[in-house]
Chains A and B, each alone.
Chain A
């Protein structure tokens, strides 16, 4: 593939026969609303229950059953809208999207078409070369469908309606994304905002976050949009990126061959890593949208919205700014720390527990270094961290006040993993307290210089590299417990 990745991650360019193409991407993200019950019924939304055990008469569309809006889901959508700095519409309308499918019991999906609950907003992406703003077109509420299961019974399709009627937010971006990296950053940022708000858990494995990806290409610098294809229902960031790369190159190939691009809906085959036509524009469903006569227009007052605004927690962008201003954390570190609400919470707890004499640099390094490595290795989230923020703060303070060296700290950290043990106790039990008594260290260093007279002379003659050798010998002799700063000072004096 003769694509060229520009140094800039915000751009994904494809070069063919002296033409340079850019890719234009818009996403329709379907985010499952965090809520105990469904959008229009009181059934549970818990993931992973036995098939058809979380289905009410409304969800299964029995005759005479009527939808009743779940106010909590409305609040969640509005909160999300506030998080996206979007306009909240005082009046929105639920429409019926009509189509037949086995896992769509009503024969229509209740969605919002002309009048969504949330209008235009934006999201800021932190790209390596700087910030980028991505426009949000709208956010609307809709019902999820059930699930058709084709692989259990050889001759029948089975239907599980547990998911039927679960509330989704469809978040539609403007065609502002230009590369797979930006898509990655955008999805992560959306996920981060919604997790801060508690409006969507963002769990892609469980299908809480999926996206339809709209892709078109155009000669770089052109202003008109190319014909787009919509890749339906992609459920991981990696697959979104793969699908975009495949699809963009497919479109460029077509253009270069002088062919037209058909506006169509495509599927991404994750096994073959290719997109395939699902239906053309001509075959597109006529959904016959019309306002659902079972539901009145949804009206929310400014007071209702203001009340929700007052409940909005500090969001990633603000938190990042505060970490930089208040904690003097570097922008790079701040971005990492705020990206996930649980990481931010952990960090803030560590900061709080460190007390007055806190060392931010140490805290950041230990969290993003040692702790992240352990979490990665164990494949767990920071919320399940085997070491509590309180004990990590203690460990950092032990380093800071010179009780232990950084090296010993790593040993202690390993020991702490086994049941979140208080590092102070480990230090005492294992006798790992740093040796900071100058007299004891002087005696120890005298002995080392004595034992290595020749090297000491070489050092004095200018072979400065040997200084490290003496430090190493001193540390070794002390069993790693010697205070490295003191060792340095004494060695300099004595040599």
Chain B
């Protein structure tokens, strides 16, 4: 049974369609393994019983025409799931059970997927290490006491630990790609507007985007095909022609032009990242791509811009958690006192920090200097990419400036933590698709990822390049199941 959990999504679907494995067998395997894996703390809410029941129902009346026939899937706890508690990793939503379903998860269930449970994440997706979750740290399956990245840390860890065949995360500044990079897995952030935000607990609305996380590139293409859809319930959803990403997936990238942005060669970047990048360039050439040096001149402004725009939107998005309608309510002498106590007790330190920053940058007298300026810079960053895409089809960069770090190592140094997003944040600001694929290891044998950034709505090219390079790189995670011992 243990092989079931190590199968890729594609393999699992094949086995289920060929009736070699039943949906219920698959569900049991993942549930059994999860029971032995509590130590890495990936689940906030388990849906095991219901998953076993639903998988049995699927087996009784199977429909193999579906894209995810009876596949058990765990999802980040930022997606609202009907009648299953949804916390966003926060105390303030500790008791919150939605009566509705996010569009992205609904798309998964419509194609036969079955919910295994809700995966841990940084509180309101604010963090790069999963350490801001109210429900505790998540262990990286790669090594003990290593962070799994964030904010989709529960998702990346569950994937690397073979606790779910695929999963979905959300990416506001790197929250899919950075944890994928830290755990030797694949994570794709689609173009802004590709996946509906309806029913996803909002962090920063103009940046948030859901995307697939998987063990390999093919699996991401299968899942993207399921979750990407135009949705009238989200005014920022875009009605564009979506590819059949998995069937159109090809390793023929001959002649594609891949840009290497000189500004991503940042100061103090470790040698091993530099080496990884160079290796990636060679792999891309091997695949038949043409390498072109490009410039994205405003790159150095991306991080400060992001840390103005994202907190600003977050400060407003999180105003609804006030103790009045749902979630935590602390008792107070009057309305204001109740607000203060509820939000003091309900939110963690990082969330409070960002609400404070966001409130500050939107304040009268500071708005022009911060928020408005940041919006202008954001346009310049977008233009950088637009100009680059006149010359190239995609861009290759490292995913992160370092490998996974130790739990607690950066938790008292927010700026150093924020620097982790340096390569991923520009992609969100420009609304572009980006994927992180595992490409090697550092001196500690911790995985390192490469990022491929595409043109808007051109997920297919991003996937194709990743698919080609993946074959050349031939990376395999070395997971020892240390937490079971």
Contact = CB atoms under 8 A, between A and B. Distances in A.
Interface of A: 57, 60-69, 96, 98, 100, 102, 105-108, 157, 159, 286, 288-290, 293-296
A157 to B, nearest CB: 7
Interface pairs A-B: 5 shortest CB-CB: A107-B319, A293-B205, A288-B362, A293-B206, A64-B199
B325 A60 contact: yes
A387 to B, nearest CB: 49
B324 A105 contact: yes
B319 A64 contact: no
Given A98-B316, A288-B316, 18 more contacts: A61-B320, A63-B201, A64-B80, A64-B102, A64-B198, A64-B200, A66-B234, A67-B235, A100-B339, A105-B320, A286-B363, A286-B364, A288-B359, A288-B364, A288-B367, A289-B362, A290-B371, A296-B236
B240 to A, nearest CB: 15
A68 B235 contact: yes
A68 B313 CA distance: 18
B197 interface: yes
Nearest to B205: A293
Interface of B: 79-80, 86, 88, 93, 96, 98-100, 102, 197-202, 204-206, 232-236, 312-313, 315-316, 318-320, 322, 324-326, 335, 339, 359, 362-364, 367, 371
A67 B320 CA distance: 14
A295 B315 CA distance: 17
B447 to A, nearest CB: 32
Contacts of B79: 64
A62 B324 contact: no
Given A64-B199, A286-B364, A96 B100 contact: no
A378 B320 CA distance: 48
Nearest to B100: A57
Contacts, number: 96
Contacts of A286: 363-364
Among B204, B324, B339: residue with most chain A CB under 10 A:
B324
Contacts of B96: 63
29 contacts: A57-B100, A61-B320, A62-B80, A62-B100, A63-B80, A63-B96, A64-B197, A64-B201, A65-B198, A65-B199, A66-B198, A66-B233, A66-B234, A96-B316, A100-B319, A100-B322, A102-B335, A105-B320, A107-B320, A108-B316, A159-B324, A288-B315, A288-B316, A288-B363, A290-B362, A293-B206, A294-B202, A294-B235, A295-B236
Nearest to B198: A66
A98 B235 contact: no
B88 to A, nearest CB: 7
A394 B96 CA distance: 68
B330 to A, nearest CB: 15
Nearest to B80: A64
Given A100-B322, A105-B320, A290-B367, A63 B98 contact: yes
Contacts of B318: 107
Contacts of B80: 62-64
Contacts of A100: 319, 322, 339
Contacts of B86: 63
B354 to A, nearest CB: 15
A428 B60 CA distance: 83
Given A64-B102, A100-B339, A288-B362, A106 B235 contact: no
Contacts of A68: 232-235
Contact of A69 (B197, B235, B322, B371): B235
Nearest to A60: B325
A196 to B, nearest CB: 32
A57 B101 CA distance: 12
Contact of B319 (A67, A69, A106): A106
Contacts of A98: 315-316, 319, 362
Nearest to B318: A107
A11 B316 CA distance: 45
A289 B315 CA distance: 12
Contacts of A289: 362, 367
Contacts of A293: 204-206, 236, 313
Contacts of B200: 64
A107 B316 contact: yes
Contacts of B204: 293
A63 B234 CA distance: 13
Nearest to B78: A64
A385 B319 CA distance: 50
Contacts of B233: 66, 68
B195 to A, nearest CB: 13
A63 B325 CA distance: 11
Contacts of A106: 319-320
Contacts of B320: 61, 63, 105-107
A104 to B, nearest CB: 9
Among A63, A66, A69: residue with most chain B CB under 10 A:
A63
Nearest to A98: B316
A107 B358 CA distance: 14
A66 B235 contact: yes
Contacts of B325: 60-62, 105
Contacts of A159: 324
A106 to B, nearest CB: 5
B117 to A, nearest CB: 18
Nearest to A148: B335
A143 B447 CA distance: 50
A96 B200 CA distance: 20
A62 B79 CA distance: 13
Contacts of B312: 290
A242 B102 CA distance: 52
Given A68-B233, A106-B319, A290-B371, A62 B363 contact: no
Contact of B335 (A69, A157, A295): A157
Nearest to A69: B235
